[in-house]
Amino acid sequence: MNCQSGELADLLTEQRNLNSVDIDLKSSAEIVEIFQQEDRKVLAAIEAESTSIATAIDLIAEVLRNDGRLFYIGAGTSGRLGVLDASECPPTFSTEPGQIQGLIAGGNRALRSSVEAAEDRPEAGRQAILDHLVSKADIVVGIAASGRTPYVLGGLQQAHDLGAKTILLCCALPPGRFSQSSEMSFVDHWITPQVGPEVVTGSTRLKAGTATKLVLNMLTTGAMIQTGRVYDNLMVDLQASNHKIKDRALRILMEITGCQRAQAEVALVEADGQTKVAVVCLVRDVDPQTAVALLESQNGFLRAVLEGARP
């Protein structure tokens, strides 16, 4: 699907914002106020998509439960946000390498430098999906503020052709949003927060970028909660790999089990830095191997293992 200049001009993300007209004449304080007024609209736009976001979480969680993978695919700011979210899952939730991945038009170079022309090639998006061996076991979330980025749509089309589930996160409503028979029928599910025109016309790294980051936070965190990687509101699946994370892991152990720090330190070492395993060892009074087996018997859900056990 290619974008014509007339079509682009009609997009909500390309409209002028009446609230920021003459912003070049404003003081810094007035500029900040304009931004604050506009950013308040982001939360309302996301709230309107609550049901769609929840459905997307369920779709992603189902794929992950069945050992499938989650891919983000985007260009520019959208691509960078996808890569950022994917890269934060291993240290936060101990996801397996490659389980959650971010694909960006222009490759790794585009993470630091602008490679704007790369987004105009749908065949590049298709090839990225093929290169990563996407299959029907996986789910692909396309991120495109305009909903029209050729690289993203090409990737989603290829993913759909391979049988993968597809989601499109965008801040405009492309033709076919509600029609399965349209040229956008390769999108299985939509998330479309309508944040309105940007403070600087067309600069979708602003409100659209903020909305995207907030939605991605919910998608991966929600899916991790639904697959047992969070207990209460604690990130019990984190791997103690540096001083800060080790300290957090110890505090989590002490919070859940009521043990002293010295005991938590010993348990964490014996569990090879696996916080969830250390919790089970302390609460159930078992060795790490037994703790791992107990967790596996409950699909990794710590609450189910601890239920009925007395700290």
Q: Is position 62 annotated as part of the catalytic site? A: no
**What is d(CA 275, CA 269) in angstroms, rounded to the nearest whole number?**
10
Among residues 88, 116, 296, 307, which one is catalytic? 88
Q: Is position 119 annotated as part of the catalytic site? A: yes
Among residues 119, 198, 255, 270, which one is catalytic? 119
Tokens 């939605």, located at residue: 215
- Three-state DSSP string of the chain: CCCCHHHHHCCHHHCCCHHHCCHHHCCHHHHHHHHHHHHHHHHHHHHCCHHHHHHHHHHHHHHHHCCCCEEEEECHHHHHHHHHHHHHHHHHHCCCCCCEEEEECCHHHHHCCCCHHHHHCHHHHHHHHHHCCCCCCCEEEEECCCCCCHHHHHHHHHHHHCCCEEEEECCCCCCCCCCCCCCCCCCCEEECCCCCCCCCCCCCCCHHHHHHHHHHHHHHHHHHHHCCCCECCECCCCECCCHHHHHHHHHHHHHHHCCCHHHHHHHHHHCCCEHHHHHHHHHHCCCHHHHHHHHHHCCCCHHHHHCCCCC
The catalytic residues are 88, 119
